[in-house]
Amino acid sequence: DTAVSQTPKYLVTQMGNDKSIKCEQNLGHDTMYWYKQDSKKFLKIMFSYNNKELIINETVPNRFSPKSPDKAHLNLHINSLELGDSAVYFCASSLQAGAADTQYFGPGTRLTVL
Amino acid sequence: GESVGLHLPTLSVQEGDNSIINCAYSNSASDYFIWYKQESGKGPQFIIDIRSNMDKRQGQRVTVLLNKTVKHLSLQIAATQPGDSAVYFCAENMGGNKLVFGAGTILRVKS
């Protein structure tokens, strides 16, 4: 009965590869997010989707492509992985966009690019 | 632990004492603020929030204070316990539910 879940929890891959991270929420929320947390614990928003529509795109390289097949899922595909992509990626969800709602975070996916 | 090598502000308190974690935010137009707790290997966990029309809000063992004049937020934890050890983040809502997080503070509780 996990509220926001992500797979995989750990991902180790070589530079240049393409990988995907999946996120699902069972809270009935309309809005989902991807955040990146670097090695200094700095947490920064990357994308936000509201009911399958992109609403926030924070100057992320276009190698990163989020996809939302339905409002309960938001996946992150990364092409041509680089060393600097190594980080922990968190998915989050909130009730709706455009309102000050609490965001609930998933457990994170630790991506290591070798 | 995971905090080794991190150059975040660190607050060390004795078990049972009160803790105060401070945060400065940037946007005077921000209308919503949240405190999150992040334990090692886990995602940020909601603790307490406050809207800009309030200056104080209390939860169970936690209190958030908001000073809009100086753009300052604080989190007070009463009777700090070992399980409170974590990294604490403040976040401000910049509009449209875009959260901007502070740098984080490590709380260490000594038994």
Residues in chain B: 111
A56 close contact with B: CB closer than 8 A = yes
Q: Alpha-carbon distance A65 to A88, whole Å?
A: 17
Q: Do A97 and B99 touch (CB under 8 A)?
A: no
Which residues are bridge partners to B106 per DSSP? B10, B87
**Predicted confidence (pLDDT) per residue in A14-37, tens digit:** 999 999 999 999 999 999 999 999
Q: Do A90 and B43 touch (CB under 8 A)?
A: yes
**Predicted confidence (pLDDT) per residue in B5-44, tens digit:** 567 899 999 999 999 999 999 899 999 999 999 999 999 9
Contacts of A31 (CB under 8 A, 6+ apart): A48, A49, A50, A51, A55, A93, A94, A95, A96, A97, A101, B97
Which among A41, A102, A107 has the least Cβ separation from residue B34? A102
A101 close contact with B: CB closer than 8 A = yes
Maximum Cα–Cα distance for chain B, whole Å?
42
Q: Do B46 and A102 touch (CB under 8 A)?
A: yes
Could you tell me what percent of chain A has a pLDDT over 70?
96
CB A79, CB A18: distance < 8 Å? yes
B25 close contact with A: CB closer than 8 A = no
Q: Is B71 helix (H, G, I), strand (E, B) or coil?
A: coil
Phi and psi torsions of B6, nearest 5°: -75, 135
Tokens 């632990």: give the residue: B1
